[in-house]
Copies of this chain bind each other. A is one copy, B any other.
Amino acid sequence: MTDLFTLTPTQYSLVLNVLNLSIGAFGAFTLLFILLRRNVARNYSIAISLMAAVTTMAAYHYFRLYGSWLDAYALQGGQHIPTGAAFNYVLRYADWLGTVPLLLSAIMLVLDLGRQQSASLVTRMATSAVLMIGLGYIGEVQGDNLGGRAVWGLLACIPFLYILYVLWGEMSRVLSFESVRVRQLFSRLRWVLLASWIFYPVIYALPILGISGPNVLTLVQVCNSAADLLAKVGVGLLILGIAREKTEEDLAAASRTEKAQTAGMPVPVAAD
């Protein structure tokens, strides 16, 4: 799919090790999310469980991507030469098709809004994500048809913009019922997500702009992996932060209610 160029050992091993770092990080954060979901109230732990699913899926796909990178190159005279085996770059789309709907669902579920509101948000976000990535995939496999690549890419921007609209428009109204601290964390989460997602359309546009070469190839793989780490691990940690904050707020509220009840109750009952 992607054109491969002869790489220097530095370029080749940079990609190899960024992929390796990603596999290790996604595996480790899967474990961390599994372990830490117990540190938040049950309602919020669903979002943490979803994040564990996201990182475990990513770990597997990066493991395959790593294998594909090994197959695609052979060391000859101190240079890494393409073997002719395709580097399965579009595997990233397969990964996003599974992980992005789960990630967006986790973001929607960590606030523990009412069942109906959550269901509606999760459905719309997951559907938009599938559309965005599906359309991007069609554009990605257009090969030399750069016009087609551009058109499908622009179509993929529609669900992308809808997701941003929900995160900044609709969610802002929802957040008005949350504490200042939760609003801060959620706002940071939105910006981290956007910062990571900004990489993808830029990388997608490079072939259209005629930008290629060994340095670009290397940089694209590094940036894609960095963006994935930011979107999955970075956003996951912010989801964890929101879940912990809301857990503590719930506990504080509960103890206030209890105190109030206790105050207004006859002694024998208060004894409980």
Is the CB–CB distance between B13 and A86 below 8 Å?
yes
Is the CB–CB distance between A28 and B102 below 8 Å?
yes
Is the CB–CB distance between A60 and B267 below 8 Å?
no
Beta-carbon contacts under 8 Å, A1-47 to B: 1, 9-10, 13-14, 16-18, 20-21, 23-25, 27-32, 34-39, 42, 45-46
Nearest B residue to A142, CB-CB: B10
List the number of copies, as a whole number: 2
Which of A50-58, A154-162, A172-180, A194-202 forms contacts with chain B?
A: A50-58
Give A residues with C-beta under 8 Å from B: 1, 9-10, 13-14, 16-18, 20-21, 23-25, 27-32, 34-39, 42, 45-46, 49-50, 52-54, 56-57, 60-61, 64, 75, 84-86, 88, 90-91, 93-95, 97-98, 102, 141, 143, 266-272
- From known contacts A9-B1, A45-B39, infer whether A21 and B98 are also in contact, taking CB-CB under 8 Å: yes
23 pairs, A vs B, C-beta closer than 8 Å: A13-B141, A16-B88, A17-B94, A20-B94, A21-B94, A21-B95, A21-B98, A24-B61, A24-B94, A27-B56, A28-B57, A28-B60, A28-B102, A31-B34, A32-B49, A32-B50, A32-B52, A34-B35, A35-B53, A38-B42, A75-B85, A271-B272, A272-B272
Instruction: State the CA gap A230–B53 with chains docked (Å).
Output: 17
Nearest B residue to A102, CB-CB: B28
Is the CB–CB distance between A35 and B52 below 8 Å?
yes
Instruction: State the CA gap A98–B55 with chains docked (Å).
Output: 15
Is the CB–CB distance between B88 and A24 below 8 Å?
no
- From known contacts A32-B53, A45-B39, A267-B268, infer whether A64 and B102 are also in contact, taking CB-CB under 8 Å: no
A96 to chain B, nearest CB (A): 10
A188 to chain B, nearest CB (A): 11
A244 to chain B, nearest CB (A): 9
- From known contacts A10-B143, A94-B20, A97-B21, infer whether A28 and B45 are also in contact, taking CB-CB under 8 Å: no
Instruction: State the CA gap A46–B237 with chains docked (Å).
Output: 13
Is the CB–CB distance between B269 and A18 below 8 Å?
no
- From known contacts A9-B86, A28-B98, infer whether A46 and B54 are also in contact, taking CB-CB under 8 Å: no
Instruction: State the CA gap A210–B106 with chains docked (Å).
Output: 45
